[in-house]
């Protein structure tokens, strides 16, 4: 399923707090017009895509993320151009109430009914430089946010219903040359006290309580690391991707060697995402215009298929065919999606339906795909 | 006479009317057979004949005229009773006719034989006379014989007496001599012992032993025996002494043992002792060998060592074994077993020593010496091997030789690997050197040739060295191992194919460590290795394999025509080489592409594109890019062929560019700065993309220059595109990009297979830059051209 945003776009996120409807947010990039945030609703039963537009007038959007607690709250990183200087800022926004749940039908032309976002607060970065991304604490109440600004990592506390952002801690990367964070993710494990960041060819882990580095994977990739993601089910595992066309899987307890390396793309890999519930499914998007869905069974939390504990076998309706899928499965590429015609800069799993994902290419095309049915049943049964 | 008799008997029986109805003259053969039959009957051969005439009438029938039991009365009676008158008359006339015929036959016979009767009578008469004369002479002979007998009896009666006496005297004489011998025995023995003639002594003792034993009860004999025993005991003691001293060498010892055996010493004990002595001597040999082996580096070379071992130990062992088998043959299988165990144990120790020595030799390079040493070792051991089949010495020796051969193969493989690595180091140095010295070093092609030839010569040397193992004159070369497995598995698979594999692996390892562990692998080395592998794939491997096959497998196939499994196909070695070449080349493209794209990336990322000034000239980094690309082109051109370009007029640079810079470029992003809908841009670019093929940036490369360069340029330009998209440009920034791209366009098209590709990518760069520009005012194409030409 495809839809055109009709703008250039790089930023894509699922609406994290929404667990019923399949909804993605796309931020556009345009230097000449008012930028927009497109709220894409996908009706799974009728295969209908519904689109609502929010105006985002402050600048082109480079990164977008949504609060895990409040459906209406999101954060963007945007470019502000002012007298021959470009500065990337970040702000937290609230969308209008009626768009939150997506029940709002907009039969009219979307641009005519475009509504504006309500600004909650700025993440003040005048001292720190360009914002690369904003990450919400994945399990919390939507009060904690990490933002990466040039070589600083900033922890913000959002107070008074997110209307005020207080800098709660920061750390910075010192070293020769221009060190700049490219990406970061918040680990869902360890009670959400760890954040991992990528800068140049290095992966680093940070403890948010002390804001100090806990591990460092030097030369994780031959070239720039573009993105990383934590395995949602195995606490020490994370995936990274970069300009060397590779996707690498790491055990953070052993920083010298990757657990596994995939080399399927023919250009830079911009995005890597674990499926939220079935961590053998790994999605990657690359500037060779391809999206690849891989099945990394051997290093997933279910290397022998869906393992069922003995004591809760009774309440699993699918325990019957368990025996036959005990043998370890092979890692393989499940599917390569070539619908895009320009570089794919973002891929995301839906937060509501674990079998659904969206990918966004530079020309503004958003493609929504499903995990192949056969594989889905293979994993489930 | 018999014939006449038969004929005469014929009329009696006649030939009955039932038997020969056609008449007597009709069937001559029939008659003759009948006549013979009768003769036989007459002579009592009736039984054999009875079977011959199965159809004949019952011979006991009294009515049968020809039968033996013919009874005329019965016959007549029967005739009279059975036949009518006419038939009776007929038979009567018939009978009369037959009788007449028989009479005349008889007369003829008598006339014919009359002369014979007469001469026979004459002869008999003459014989009668002769016999009478002979009788007289015989009588005379008889009387003469009687006279002779008489005389003879008288003579023997006279001589009888004397003869008896002579016989008695002779007996006494013999007895006396024996006695004398016995009496002299002790002194003789003593003398013998004193003189050391032990053999003589033992022989005497052996002769006298039985007699003395028999006449033990006589006191004089007893004394002699006692003396003898004392002397013998001394003898035995002396022999043992000599035996124990053992200094006099194996043959004399063997003699001692023989004598001792003859003296009735227990064989069991002797053979134990014999072996113990032999062991002592052989151990001494082993010790001297071990001393040669020594903790310090061995002075004598391996050939000398095996010679010593061969002559000293193996020779000794042979002597011992031969002597033992001769002496203790009576011991039977138990004795042989003892010897075998003995030989096995000592042989094992000898082998251990030899192996230690050979192990010291493993590091050395001289194969011919080793092979000769092994040959001698093996040859030496064939003699005891034949003697002591049970000890399995020959087998163990062959095993050692095989093991050494295998180790040699491994050593050579190691050597080849080391040589290859050495070559690589040389190449690295050669590659690094010219940059330091500042002058032109040897060209890549030259280096490649050097490497290839040096590896090849190494391989040939190894093959030649290994080939010594299978030389005709070497004693173990016709063992099945050296015929079959050594050639096919060891040399061909293990050494040659193994080396090629490891070479490929080494080469591939350069790909696998991207600047992390291996440090900076010079790209030229990658290129060189890639070409080397490709050469191997196309020619060298098959050449080497053919060489190997010629040298080694000929032996194999001439011996047995059995199919050699999968060895004759050159395939297993080939695949990795080509794959390696491809991987190396691809890696080369990646590395070089990375170098250029890093340059481009830095140049895009570090510049402030919003506040840049109006472009006056091409940025230096672009010139660097073109320079580097040219350098790479030269480098690759040294080793790889040109390759195929898409057919395009060669002077298209100018023309295409004008198209590019005017109409196409305009069409591409002109709408983006007219304030229409942003959709147009997308639409246009989308439509454009529909018609252009997807560009695989990091795609595998072909083995030619154009493909390599295309790969590098693709990577670089794609990087440029992605970097441009991440930035925001001012008006002059855009114009600078325009200039840069035009410059690249001017110089890069000639390197690639399809210049359309460069256009496409550069177009996209400019278009993206335009999109990332809030104020896109492109520079006049003519100005761009002027700037570029000036730059």
- Cβ contact B774–A31 (<8 Å): yes
Closest Cα of chain B to A160: distance in Å? 35
- Cβ contact B697–A363 (<8 Å): no
> What pLDDT, on the 0 to 100 scale, is given for residue A260?
86
Is pLDDT of A309 > 60? Answer: no
Q: Range with the lowest mean pLDDT among A98-107, A336-345, B114-123, B774-783?
A: A98-107
Query: Measured between CB atoms, does B422 come within 8 Å of chain A?
Result: no
Query: Measured between CB atoms, does A16 come within 8 Å of chain B?
Result: no
Query: Which residue of chain B has the CA closest to A8?
Result: B682
Q: Strand pairing of A115-116 and A48-56?
A: parallel
Chain B neighbours among A 252-291 (CB < 8 Å)? 266-268, 287-289
**Distance (Å, whole) CA B528 – CA A205:** 41
- Cβ contact A363–B685 (<8 Å): yes
Query: Do residues B689 and B569 lie in contact, with contact meaning Cβ atoms separated by under 8 Å?
Result: no
> What pLDDT, on the 0 to 100 scale, is given for residue B332?
67
Residue B598: band (very low, low, confident or very high) from pLDDT cuts 50, 70, 90: confident
> What pLDDT, on the 0 to 100 scale, is given for residue B673?
35
Closest Cα of chain B to A188: distance in Å? 30
Is pLDDT of B170 > 60? Answer: yes
Is pLDDT of B465 > 50? Answer: yes
ipTM of this complex:
0.80
Query: Do residues A42 and A368 lie in contact, with contact meaning Cβ atoms separated by under 8 Å?
Result: yes
- Mean pLDDT (chain B, rounded): 71
Q: What angle do CA B74, B78, B84 make, to 5 degrees?
A: 150
Query: Do residues A283 and A227 lie in contact, with contact meaning Cβ atoms separated by under 8 Å?
Result: no
* pLDDT, tens only, B363-396: 655 666 677 777 777 777 766 666 666 667 777 7
Residue B554: band (very low, low, confident or very high) from pLDDT cuts 50, 70, 90: low
- Closest of B197, B335, B323, B344 to residue B266, by C-alpha: B335
- Cβ contact A31–B772 (<8 Å): yes
Closest Cα of chain A to B410: distance in Å? 32
Q: How many CB pairs under 8 A join A and B?
A: 63
Residue among A84, A219, A221 with most chain B CBs within 10 A, to mutate: A84
Query: Do residues B686 and A255 lie in contact, with contact meaning Cβ atoms separated by under 8 Å?
Result: no
Check residues B276 and B249 and name the one with the higher pLDDT: B276
Read off the pLDDT of each residue in B733-743 and give the average, rounded to a whole number: 85
Token couple for B424: 């690589």
Terminal-residue alpha carbon distance, chain A: 26
DSSP letters spanning B688-715: HHHHSPPP-TT----SSHHHHHHHHHHH
Residues of A in contact with B606 (CB under 8 A): 178
Chain A neighbours among B 113-152 (CB < 8 Å)? none
- Cβ contact B699–A31 (<8 Å): no
Residues of B in contact with A289 (CB under 8 A): 694
- Cβ contact A7–B678 (<8 Å): yes
Residue B101: band (very low, low, confident or very high) from pLDDT cuts 50, 70, 90: very high
Q: 3-class DSSP state for residue A281? A: strand
Read off the pLDDT of each residue in A180-184 and give the average, rounded to a whole number: 84
Nearest CB to B682: which of A79, A288, A363? Answer: A363
Q: What is the dihedral of CA B591, B593, B595, B599, to 10 degrees?
A: -160
> What pLDDT, on the 0 to 100 scale, is given for residue B788?
79
Q: What is the dihedral of CA A71, A75, A76, A81, to 10 degrees?
A: 130
Residues of B in contact with A287 (CB under 8 A): 718, 722
The DSSP letter of residue B391 is G
Query: Measured between CB atoms, does B612 come within 8 Å of chain A?
Result: no
Query: Measured between CB atoms, does B613 come within 8 Å of chain A?
Result: no
Residues of A in contact with B722 (CB under 8 A): 268, 287, 343
Closest Cα of chain B to A84: distance in Å? 5
- Cβ contact B771–A8 (<8 Å): yes
Query: Measured between CB atoms, does A342 come within 8 Å of chain B?
Result: yes
Closest Cα of chain B to A167: distance in Å? 28
> What pLDDT, on the 0 to 100 scale, is given for residue B102?
92
Query: Which residue of chain A has the CA closest to B770?
Result: A31
**Distance (Å, whole) CA B434 – CA A128:** 47
Chain B neighbours among A 301-340 (CB < 8 Å)? 338
Token pair 């399995």 is found at B392
* pLDDT, tens only, B238-262: 777 776 665 555 566 667 767 776 7
- Cβ contact A32–B678 (<8 Å): yes
Is pLDDT of A312 > 50? Answer: no
DSSP letters spanning B521-557: --HHHHHHHHHHHHHIIIIIHHHHHHHHIIIIIHHHH
> What pLDDT, on the 0 to 100 scale, is given for residue A177?
63
> What pLDDT, on the 0 to 100 scale, is given for residue B331?
64
- Cβ contact A85–B611 (<8 Å): yes
Is pLDDT of A32 > 60? Answer: yes
* pLDDT, tens only, B491-514: 777 777 777 777 777 777 776 655
Residues of B in contact with A363 (CB under 8 A): 682, 685-686
Nearest CB to A341: which of B686, B697, B771? Answer: B686
Closest Cα of chain B to A222: distance in Å? 6
- Cβ contact B696–A288 (<8 Å): yes
- Cβ contact B774–A363 (<8 Å): no
pTM (2 d.p.): 0.62
Residue among B511, B610, B671, B678 with most chain A CBs within 10 A, to mutate: B678
**Distance (Å, whole) CA B467 – CA B551:** 7
- Closest of A28, A33, A85 to residue A361, by C-alpha: A28
């Amino acid at each position: 399923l495809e839809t055109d945003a009709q703008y250039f776009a790089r930023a894509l996120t699922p609406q994290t707090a929404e667990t019923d409807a399949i909804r993605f947010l796309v931020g556009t990039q345009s230097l000449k017009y008012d930028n927009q945030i497109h709220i894409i609703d996908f009706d799974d039963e009728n295969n209908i895509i519904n689109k609502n537009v929010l105006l985002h007038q402050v600048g082109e959007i480079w990164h977008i993320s949504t609060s895990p607690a409040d459906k209406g709250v999101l954060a963007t990183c945007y470019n502000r151009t002012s007298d021959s200087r470009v500065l990337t800022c970040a702000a937290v926004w609230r969308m209008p109430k009626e768009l939150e749940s997506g029940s709002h039908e907009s039969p009219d032309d979307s641009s005519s009914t475009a509504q504006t976002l309500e600004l909650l607060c700025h993440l003040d970065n005048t001292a720190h430089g360009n914002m690369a991304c904003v990450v919400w604490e994945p399990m919390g109440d939507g009060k904690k946010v990490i933002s990466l600004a040039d070589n600083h990592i900033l922890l913000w506390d959002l107070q008074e219903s997110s209307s005020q952002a207080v800098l709660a801690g920061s750390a910075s990367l010192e070293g020769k040359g221009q060190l700049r964070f490219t990406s970061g993710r918040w680990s869902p494990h360890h009670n959400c006290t760890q954040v991992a960041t990528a800068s140049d060819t290095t992966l680093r882990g940070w403890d948010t309580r002390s804001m100090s580095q806990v591990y460092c994977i030097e030369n994780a990739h031959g070239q720039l690391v573009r993105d990383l993601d934590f395995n949602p089910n195995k606490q020490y595992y994370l995936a990274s991707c970069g300009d060397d066309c590779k996707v690498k899987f790491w055990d953070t307890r052993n920083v010298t060697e990757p657990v596994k390396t995939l080399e399927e793309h023919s250009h830079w890999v911009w995005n890597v995402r674990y499926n939220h519930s079935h961590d053998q499914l790994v999605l990657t998007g690359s500037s060779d215009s391809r999206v690849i869905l891989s099945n990394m069974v051997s290093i997933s939390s279910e290397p022998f298929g869906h393992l069922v504990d003995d004591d809760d076998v009774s309440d699993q309706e699918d325990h019957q065919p368990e025996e036959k899928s005990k043998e370890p499965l092979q890692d393989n590429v499940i599917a390569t999606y070539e619908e895009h015609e320009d570089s794919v800069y973002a891929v995301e799993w839906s937060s509501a339906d674990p079998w659904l994902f969206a990918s966004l290419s530079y020309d503004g095309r958003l493609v929504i795909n499903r995990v192949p049915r056969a594989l889905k049943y293979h994993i489930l049964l | 006479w018999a014939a006449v008799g038969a004929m005469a008997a014929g009329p009696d029986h006649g030939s009955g009317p039932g038997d020969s109805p056609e008449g007597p003259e009709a069937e001559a053969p029939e008659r003759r057979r009948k006549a013979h039959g009768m003769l036989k009957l007459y002579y009592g051969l009736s039984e054999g004949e009875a079977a011959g005439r199965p159809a004949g009438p019952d011979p006991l029938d009294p009515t049968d005229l020809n039968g033996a039991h013919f009874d005329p009365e019965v016959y007549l009676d029967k005739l009279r009773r059975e036949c009518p008158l006419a038939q009776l008359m007929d038979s009567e006339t018939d009978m009369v006719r037959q009788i007449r015929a028989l009479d005349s036959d008889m007369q003829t016979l008598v006339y014919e034989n009359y002369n014979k009767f007469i001469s026979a009578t004459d002869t008999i008469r003459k014989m009668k006379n002769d016999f009478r004369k002979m009788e007289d002479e015989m009588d005379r002979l008889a009387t003469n014989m009687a006279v002779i007998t008489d005389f003879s009896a008288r003579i023997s009666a006279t001589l009888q007496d004397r003869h008896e006496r002579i016989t008695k005297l002779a007996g006494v004489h013999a007895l006396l001599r024996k006695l004398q011998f016995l009496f002299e025995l002790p002194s003789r023995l003593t003398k013998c012992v004193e003189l050391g003639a032990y053999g003589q002594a033992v022989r005497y003792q052996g002769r006298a032993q039985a007699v003395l034993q028999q006449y033990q009860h006589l006191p004089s004999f007893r004394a002699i025996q006692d003396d003898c025993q004392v002397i013998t005991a001394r003898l035995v003691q002396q022999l043992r002494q000599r035996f124990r001293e053992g200094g006099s060498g194996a043959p004399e010892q063997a003699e001692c043992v023989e004598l001792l055996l003859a003296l009735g010493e227990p064989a069991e004990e002797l053979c134990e002792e014999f072996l113990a002595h032999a062991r002592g001597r052989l151990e001494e040999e082993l010790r001297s060998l071990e001393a040669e082996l020594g903790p310090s580096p061995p002075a004598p070379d391996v050939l000398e060592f095996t010679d010593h071992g061969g002559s000293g130990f193996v020779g000794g062992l042979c002597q011992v074994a031969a002597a033992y088998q001769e002496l203790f043959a009576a011991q039977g299988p138990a004795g042989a077993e003892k010897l075998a165990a003995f030989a096995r144990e000592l042989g094992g120790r000898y082998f251990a020593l030899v192996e230690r020595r050979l192990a010291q030799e493993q590091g050395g390079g001289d194969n011919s010496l080793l092979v000769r040493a092994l040959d001698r070792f093996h040859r030496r051991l064939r003699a005891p091997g034949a003697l002591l089949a049970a000890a399995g010495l020959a087998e163990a020796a062959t095993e050692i030789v095989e093991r050494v051969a295998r180790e040699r193969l491994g050593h050579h493989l190691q050597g080849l690997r080391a040589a290859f690595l050495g070559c690589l180091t040389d190449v690295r140095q050669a590659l690094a050197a010219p940059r330091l010295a500042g002058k032109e070093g040897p060209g890549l092609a030259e280096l490649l040739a050097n490497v290839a030839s040096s590896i090849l010569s190494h391989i040939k040397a190894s093959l030649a060295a290994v080939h010594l193992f299978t030389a005709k004159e070497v004693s173990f070369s016709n063992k099945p191992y050296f015929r079959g497995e050594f050639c096919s598995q060891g040399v061909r698979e293990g050494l040659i194919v193994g080396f090629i594999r490891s070479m490929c692996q080494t080469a591939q390892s350069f790909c696998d460590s991207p600047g992390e562990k291996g440090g900076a692998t010079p790209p030229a080395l990658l290129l060189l290795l890639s070409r080397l592998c490709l050469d191997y794939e196309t020619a060298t491997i098959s050449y080497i394999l053919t060489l190997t096959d010629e040298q080694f497998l000929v032996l194999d196939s001439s011996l047995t025509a059995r199919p050699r499994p999968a060895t004759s196909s050159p395939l297993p070695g080939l695949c990795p080489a080509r794959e390696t070449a491809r991987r190396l080349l691809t890696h080369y493209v990646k590395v070089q592409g990375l170098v250029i794209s890093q340059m481009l990336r830095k140049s895009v990322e570090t510049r402030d594109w919003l506040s840049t000034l109006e472009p006056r000239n091409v940025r230096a980094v672009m010139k660097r890019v073109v320079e580097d690309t040219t350098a790479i082109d030269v480098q690759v051109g040294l080793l790889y062929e040109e390759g195929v370009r898409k057919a395009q007029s060669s002077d298209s640079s100018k023309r295409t560019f004008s198209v590019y810079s005017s109409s196409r470029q305009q069409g591409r992003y002109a709408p983006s700065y007219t304030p229409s809908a942003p959709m147009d841009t997308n639409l246009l670019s989308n439509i454009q993309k529909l018609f252009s093929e997807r560009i695989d940036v990091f795609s595998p490369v072909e083995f030619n220059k154009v493909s390599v360069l295309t790969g590098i340029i693709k990577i670089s330009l794609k990087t440029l595109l992605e970097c441009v998209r991440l930035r925001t440009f001012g008006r002059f920034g855009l114009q600078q990009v325009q200039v840069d791209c035009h410059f690249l366009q001017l110089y890069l098209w000639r390197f690639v297979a399809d210049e359309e590709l460069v256009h496409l990518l550069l177009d996209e760069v400019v278009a993206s830059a335009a999109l990332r520009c809030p104020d896109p005012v492109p520079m006049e194409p003519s100005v761009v051209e002027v700037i570029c030409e000036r730059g």
